[in-house]
Structure 1
Amino acid sequence: MKRDLSYLSTCPIAVLGGGAVGKATAADCKLAGREVRLYSKSEKSIARLDKTGILLDGIQRNLYGFERSGRVFLDIVSTDMRKVVKGAKLIIIGVPALSHEYYLKTLVPLLEDGMIIHTFTDNYASLLLRKLMREMGCTKDVIIGGWSSAPYGTRIEKICGFWTNHVGIKYRAISLRGACLPMSDIDDFMESVKYLPCMDSVTLGEGPQRGDTMLDIGFANVNPVIHVPASLLGVSSMENWSLVYGNAPDSYSMYSHGLCPSICRVQYQFYQEECKLAKAIGIASPYYSYESFFSRRSILTQEYMGLDENGKDNVIFPLDKPCDEGNTGPNSIDHRYITEDIPVGCKIYHDFGVKFGVPTPIIDSMIVLGGAMHEKSFFEETVYNLDYLGIGHMTRDELLDYMYNGRYVKKTS
């Protein structure tokens, strides 16, 4: 039965995470007139916010010209999550995947009936949260879901290594793919988007897309397929960018300076392996044409500039011309484009491949190369596997029943 979600129009919004996504979503929602609270486990990431507030601006490129800018002071800024989430029925989680476990374990005892959790980018956080709720004995009536990406490409301004409270948005999404666990909550989850101002460019643009389970949302995350091949195969350009070529530090962009036709071909084959995995599991996944990969923004462009009537990208940034459209980064092999997208995104693809008998040689080669650069094995030195998400023991039918209907089958000894 469809729920009455009118209470979401006036409830406080709690944002968990003091990085670029957390600060951008918090400022965006506050600029729209909502009560907004921000939590971070790091004092440093929220330092001086009481004096400076958050300045949100930037190009904010998108097909429909949606823009929202200004300086805001949030209602609560704290390292005490209890203070931030109490009574806040809309919860936004905006932290890197490797921080999910800490944030989610802290959140579980604070959950209240009627809360709706949105994670940007989900990266299997919804599966992990449901698992932690089972382990911690939490039975609160909450809706848990997430998105294939954040509503924007955003960066915090850094001055000579010093992080400011100025957040610049490069682009705003006009369409994002979302789902929830279980999918029986999908109508209410999608309805709740209307009450999230940080999703206004999506709501007023092409609209949110319903994904086919949270596994689909994991596969719809474009970060592994774009970031990993371009970062690893373009590593010499990155490492020589300042030292040899004399460019300004931190000005390197994987999109603007790393992509080339050969890397784009690898990205497309990586994507083809994702498609085979989704088919073997029995879920839908996003479609991207071969041509869409051969652009300086790769398949990301359609997220904010859309497709034409023939399903082609409205905008292509040619590989044979200079372009400063892309965000900067990575600036070292310790960047999240490698240290998150390989041990989380690529590793889970590999594990699904092993479980369902789908070879993933391109994806596996990325895990091997990234590990070699770090002188470790990303196959072994990561907590991310199917058991970590609570689904490693399930058959295909059990897995899909859990995704769609929430019926969880416990592992037998």
Structure 2
Amino acid sequence: MKVEKIAILGGGNGGITAAADLTQKGFLVNMFESQRFCKDLQFIKKSNQIAMEYKGSKSVEKINLITNNIEDAIKDCQIVMITVPGMGIEYFAEILAPVVKEDQIILINSAPAMASVRFVKKAKEMGIEKDFKIGETNSLTYATRAYVNEARVEISLKAGKVYLAAYPSCHTDEVFNACVQIYDCFVKADNVIVVNLENPNPLVHPGPTLLNAGRIDYTKGDFWLYKEGITEHTVNIVKAVENEREAVAKALDIQLEDTKQARINRGYFADEDKPLHELFNTSPVFQYIKGPASVEGRYIVEDISTGLVLWSDLGRILKVPTPNIDSIIILGGTLIGRDFYKEGLTLESIGLGHLKNKGDILSNI
């Protein structure tokens, strides 16, 4: 399949940036304007243009189409790319599954949340039994900020390495061969379990955010987690979560990248021999990211519910202890009055409760 035309569903930082970047690369790009998961695109729609800046280079890119009609948005597109938080997947399954064709590739380009599995599950609940070609990444392909009222984006990083797998994994080659044409940073992963275990956010965000909760409350958001919240002591919770995540992966015969090397490979860390907390503090990307502004933001809510709860559940099934992960889940829930074990991702909640051991998981994903 030669990729020439792409639809982008989701008009946040990632979607708007992807529209400009992929247009610059020579692809025809359609944007779907969703009322639920889209910034106000009125300023972009005035001229269908997005100004883009990356590494000092500036350009203005003309978007092919911006529409609120899903069928028009995906018509004749080889790739339909969804760039929304994990909580939006069921909504997009509802509107996309009935109209997408089986030969169109669905790429979920965001922090992973077993989104491809959930998309297929939702479609089946709707009575749709298509052979979807759907894959998800372990991270958004950009570090970026979109200024919609100015119709412009500032890209601070294009990721150097991003994992991609399809669900089911028998479709990974087909999905990868299409998607690598638009992002050469993609690397094939064996399955979506690998992709979700390689999610960098649950590893780094919830623990240090929890340990800095008082500071976040006191400053009312005038806080920089990567620059000041990850210290020689708070980084130990990151290392503890990493060890437990690696133990879960090892029980599935999965080899993961370590925290430092993964971020060097993706461009977030300089390749320097420094302690881990200093690499976060001085990162050419992370040190400029402000926040979280609240303990009820995605660093706690999303990264626990769609990340740590899944890792804990895999540990339970595989009989791998995850005491530090479990502590963060419990205390994070106590902090903001939520039960993440009830609302978070488990194999049961995404329709895979019949997978009871390593063999079941590896042969059905």
- Equivalent in the alignment of 2:141: 151
- Give the alignment of 1:348-367 within 5 angstroms: 348-367=310-329
- Equivalent in the alignment of 2:217: 239
SS at structure 1 position matched to 2:246:
helix
User: Which stretch has the larger CA shift, 123-132 or 43-52?
Assistant: 43-52
Describe the shift of the 1:393–1:68 C-alpha distance in structure 2 as closer, same or farther (beyond 3 A).
farther
Match of 1:254 among 225, 235, 249: 225
CA deviation digits over 1:148-187, x for unaligned, max 9? Answer: 11111112348xxxx6533222211111111112222222
SS at structure 1 position matched to 2:352:
coil
Matched-pair contact (CA < 8 Å) for 1:350–1:364:
yes
Matched-pair contact (CA < 8 Å) for 1:148–1:220:
yes
1: distance between equivalents of 2:139 and 2:245?
17
TM-score, structure 2 normalization: 0.88
TM-score, structure 1 normalization: 0.79
Amino acid at match of 2:266: E
1: distance between equivalents of 2:178 and 2:222?
38
2: distance between equivalents of 1:92 and 1:50?
20
Matched-pair contact (CA < 8 Å) for 1:31–1:69:
no
Structure 2 gaps, min length 5: none
- Equivalent in the alignment of 1:24: 17
2: distance between equivalents of 1:328 and 1:58?
20
Matched-pair contact (CA < 8 Å) for 1:224–1:342:
yes
- Equivalent in the alignment of 2:189: 211
- Equivalent in the alignment of 2:178: 192
- Equivalent in the alignment of 1:267: 238
- Equivalent in the alignment of 1:220: 198
> How much has 1:279 moved relative to structure 2?
2.3
- Equivalent in the alignment of 1:132: 122
1: distance between equivalents of 2:144 and 2:230?
20
CA deviation digits over 1:358-403, x for unaligned, max 9? Answer: 22111111112221221222222x1532222211122332322122
Matched-pair contact (CA < 8 Å) for 1:126–1:145:
yes
- Equivalent in the alignment of 1:296: none
Match of 1:303 among 258, 263, 266: 266
Amino acid at match of 1:372: T
Structure 2 residue 311 is matched with structure 1 residue 318: no
1: distance between equivalents of 2:356 and 2:196?
19
Matched-pair contact (CA < 8 Å) for 2:268–2:285:
no
Structure 1 gaps, min length 5: 60-66, 243-249, 294-298, 404-413
Structure 2 residue 45 is matched with structure 1 residue 50: yes
2: distance between equivalents of 1:47 and 1:208?
32
Matched-pair contact (CA < 8 Å) for 1:151–1:172:
yes
SS at structure 2 position matched to 1:87:
coil
Matched-pair contact (CA < 8 Å) for 2:235–2:277:
no
Pairs aligned (count): 358
Matched-pair contact (CA < 8 Å) for 2:264–2:270:
no
> How much has 1:82 moved relative to structure 2?
2.2
SS at structure 2 position matched to 1:240:
helix
Match of 2:155 among 160, 169, 184: 169
